[in-house]
Amino acid sequence: MGDFRRSVVYQIYVRSFFDTDGDGVGDLRGVTAKLDYLHELGVDYLWLTPFFRSPQRDGGYDVADYRAIDPLYGSMDDFDELVAEAGRRGIGIMLDMVFNHTSTDHEWFRRALAGEEKYRDYYFFREGKPDGGAPTNWQSKFGGSAWEYVPQLGMYYLHLFDRTQADLNWENPEVRRELCDVVRFWMGRGVKGFRFDVVNLISKGAFEDDPDPDGDGRMFYTDGPRVHEFLRELNRESFGRDPEIVTVGEMSSTSMENCFLYAGEDSGELSMVFSFHHLKVDFVGNEKWVIVPTDFARLKSLLFGWQKGMAEHGAWNAVFWCNHDQPRVVSRFGDEGEYWRESAKMLAAVIHGLRGTPYIYQGEEIGMTNAGFTRLDQYRDVESLNHFKILRDRGLNEESVYNILKVHSRDNGRTPVQWDGGKNGGFTAGEPWIEVNPNSRIINAKTQLRDSGSVFSFYRELVRLRKRYDVFAYGDFEPLTPEHPHVIAYRRCWNGETLYCINNFFRAETVWRCPEGERLDGCRVLLSNYPSVQPACEWTLRPYESAILLKC
């Protein structure tokens, strides 16, 4: 742990990480059991997805009690043991705080429904339009209206996500005080970091209809009018009291200009931000439930634009491909067949060489692939199940809908970690809550720990290089050959060290030429995904070839 710019964060989707009690669901003791593996990888922080008490309608992102651990995942004693054992290995625990909304099972919401005015003001209850319809035409991100009618109150409440996830009213100072108390509670138990879920949606603007016929209302609540004020207050009253606490905000459909403030060095808000624009390059606009080719030129433009813009404004990125809401990157942008290993390593190099703190999502370090589900009963994700119906109602046939789910479903990233080639991939002795990918016989951690050429070994070396060479943490960023149709290449410089990261993003050979004025003479190959790499100013890159070079 220490300077977050030199650190690497590993995300754990607890439900799918490792099960110790045979109930088919991962648990906190399962994380503790694998700490030596994570220490071997070299990571500094473990971001745990929510394990708080919840009805589990949305995988724990529907929190019913911010201070209680759901028995599904263990006990407070289990959590305390995890914090202590991780700390002994120099690893800090980062919690996922879902502060935009609570579960409708939360005591606050239940008391609101019971008629307590104090708690009704914790949420957004509104009367309908004169015709009885919803207060606005805003749409839930999980499909359908963002408003749910409560007959006994004769009012609607706002839910930007599932109807069982009611949005909190941050305009109410009592709500903000409650949430600051929650952060301080977990700091008192030794937590070293916080990830704030969709935190740029907490400030709502005017409750008006979206004038765009295709709009969903996000213009009224994304990066809302008081969001920076709210985050500065949260910082000041909770985690900002300990300068060693690391924070990251998930920013939904944000703007770079707002992120200059969210993650600015002196803005008093957050340490860093997740932005998702680079992961919409296989969408149509903001619509992901389609199948279109990846727009590589746009991907590169977005990566490079955010790198340059954030650096110029002294702001910090969290850099990543995968999380619990994304499909597996090797399936998405790489290759599941002949070049699986090479493409998985190339994708890792692209991210870990960038300016920002790298995040590894569980299983990414062994090249796990998409689930490949072919039946609806294999899916568990509420968003995917909702959109199966929505897409069928739009007239798509079942085959087309299944093809879309195979590409974009969040369940692709939620299948259990593949620890070995045995039954259930070594994840559980019981019946797993979601099926294990059958390729666990081939892709698993046990096999890769013994293989110096494995995807795991490549990730471990990337983590080691970040700690050894300051240029990874502190170097500037300069794109190279941004117009090249197949290559992502960039240069970073710091204190006499120059790092080059050169990557063929495709499965065909391509020729890459150094920009005028650049010389690779004297460069040392720090890491590559092919043997016998010979850097040259005119370089024929093999399929998915990647190399990180250093000149001192």
Tokens linked to 158: 């706002």
Res. 76: pLDDT tops 80: yes
CA dihedral of 404, 405, 407, 412, whole degrees rounded to 10: 180
| DSSP SS3 for 408 | helix
Res. 2: pLDDT tops 80: no
The pLDDT score that the predictor gives to residue 534 is: 86
| DSSP SS3 for 320 | coil
Whole-number Å distance between alpha carbons of 451 and 16:
24
Distance of CA 5 to the CA centre of its chain: 18
The pLDDT score that the predictor gives to residue 476 is: 97
Whole-number Å distance between alpha carbons of 24 and 429:
7
Concatenating the DSSP letter of every residue in 439-459 gives GGGTS-HHHHHT-TTSHHHHH
Res. 1: pLDDT tops 80: no
**Helix, strand, coil shares of the chain as percentages rounded to 5?**
35, 20, 45
Res. 433: pLDDT tops 80: yes
Concatenating the DSSP letter of every residue in 235-300 gives HHHTGGGSTT-EEEEE-TT--HHHHHHHTBTTSSS-SEEE--GGG-TTSBTTB-SS-----HHHHH
Under CATH, which number does the domain 4-101+172-200+246-463 receive?
3.20.20.80
Whole-number Å distance between alpha carbons of 271 and 266:
10
| DSSP SS3 for 425 | helix
How many residues belong to the chain?
552
Res. 199: pLDDT tops 70: yes
Q: In the chain, which residues fall in CATH 3.20.20.80?
A: 4-101+172-200+246-463
pLDDT tens digits, one per residue of 441-498: 999 999 999 999 999 999 999 999 999 999 999 999 999 999 999 999 999 999 999 9
Using CA of residue 536, residue 537, residue 540, residue 544, what is the dihedral sign? positive
Concatenating the DSSP letter of every residue in 90-136 gives T-EEEEEE--SEEETTSHHHHHHHTT-HHHHTTB-EE---TTS--SS
> What does the H/E/C string look like for 38-99?
HHHHCCCEEEECCCEECCCCCCCCCCCEEEEECCCCCCHHHHHHHHHHHHHCCCEEEEEECC
Name the burial class of residue 118, with classes exposed (0-12), middle (13-18) and buried (19+) by CB atoms within 10 angstroms of its CB. Answer: exposed
The pLDDT score that the predictor gives to residue 345 is: 98
10 Å Cβ neighbour count for 61?
24
Average pLDDT over residues 353-372: 98
Match 């279109």 to its residue by tokens: 292
Whole-number Å distance between alpha carbons of 322 and 306:
18
**What confidence category does residue 286 fall into, taking pLDDT thresholds of 50, 70 and 90?**
confident
Res. 240: pLDDT tops 80: yes
Average pLDDT over residues 320-337: 97
What is the overall mean pLDDT for the chain?
A: 97
Res. 522: pLDDT tops 90: no
Measuring CA to CA, how many Å separate 544 from each of 147, 156, 346, 482, 538? 46, 52, 6, 17, 17
Average pLDDT over residues 262-290: 95
The pLDDT score that the predictor gives to residue 99 is: 98
The pLDDT score that the predictor gives to residue 214 is: 87
The pLDDT score that the predictor gives to residue 247 is: 98
| DSSP SS3 for 355 | coil
Segment holding 396, helix H or strand E: none
Q: In the chain, which residues fall in CATH 3.90.400.10?
A: 107-167
Q: In the chain, which residues fall in CATH 2.60.40.1180?
A: 473-551
For residues 306 and 257, is the Cβ–Cβ distance under 8 A?
A: no
Concatenating the DSSP letter of every residue in 339-354 gives THHHHHHHHHHHHHTS
What values do phi and psi take at 64, rounded to 5?
Answer: -100, -15
Res. 326: pLDDT tops 80: yes
CATH topology of domain 107-167: Oligo-1,6-glucosidase; domain 2 (3.90.400)
Res. 517: pLDDT tops 90: no
For residues 460 and 366, is the Cβ–Cβ distance under 8 A?
A: no
Whole-number Å distance between alpha carbons of 199 and 258:
12
Res. 357: pLDDT tops 80: yes
C-alpha angle 272/275/280, rounded to 5°?
165
Whole-number Å distance between alpha carbons of 480 and 487:
9
Among 284-288, 297-301, 394-398, which stretch is predicted with the lowest mean pLDDT? 284-288
Ramachandran bin of 495, using left for φ above 0, alpha for ψ from -120 to 50, beta for the remaining angles: left
Whole-number Å distance between alpha carbons of 204 and 135:
14
Segment holding 308, helix H or strand E: helix 296-312
Whole-number Å distance between alpha carbons of 8 and 472:
11
Q: Percentage of residues in the chain with pLDDT exceeding 90?
A: 96
What values do phi and psi take at 387, rounded to 5?
Answer: -75, -20
For domain 473-551, the question of CATH label 3.90.1150.10 is answered with: no
Whole-number Å distance between alpha carbons of 172 and 179:
11
Residues annotated as catalytic are 197, 250
